[in-house]
Amino acid sequence: MFYSALWIDEVDIDAERIEYNGNVLKIPASLVSEGSTIRMTIKNGTESIDHDDWTVRKVTRTKDGITTFVAEFTSENAKKYQHEAGETISIMVRPREASDSGMFSVEFTAKAKTFWNFQTGIQFERVYH
């Protein structure tokens, strides 16, 4: 039980470092394993789209040790998708294959990136509940 509670605390801390830029999903390597599954659900009003074809593109390793390693994931389906301002992006991660233990999710919103009142793109902001 001690290890389970400790791991949950680590998930909470490491989940703070999850990033999404519209093409690449970065997750601390401590939160994923070889059998991890990722599902992204994009909601815009009443429409909902799922992307679940995420694969590891690379793992960035630093001299600071394994706790700072970051896995970068890409999805062919997500790569083709054009995000719009106002969308809610929910990402559910199952760290171990065939296990609901340790599942966690994060949420982002898509916001218009502007320059002099002209939309120049989309940026993603983390939502904290």
CA 90, CA 108: separation in Å to the nearest integer?
6
Per-residue pLDDT of the chain (129 residues; tens, 9 = 90+): 333 333 444 445 566 789 999 999 999 888 888 888 999 999 998 999 999 999 999 998 888 887 788 999 999 999 999 999 999 999 999 887 655 567 888 999 999 999 998 888 999 999 987
Domains defined for the chain, CATH in brackets: 2-127 (2.60.40)
Rounded Cα distance between 112 and 122, Å, is 5
pTM of the predicted structure, to 2 decimals? 0.81
d(CA 101, CA 64): 28
Q: Are β-strands 88-94 and 70-74 bridged in parallel, bridged antiparallel, or unpaired?
A: unpaired
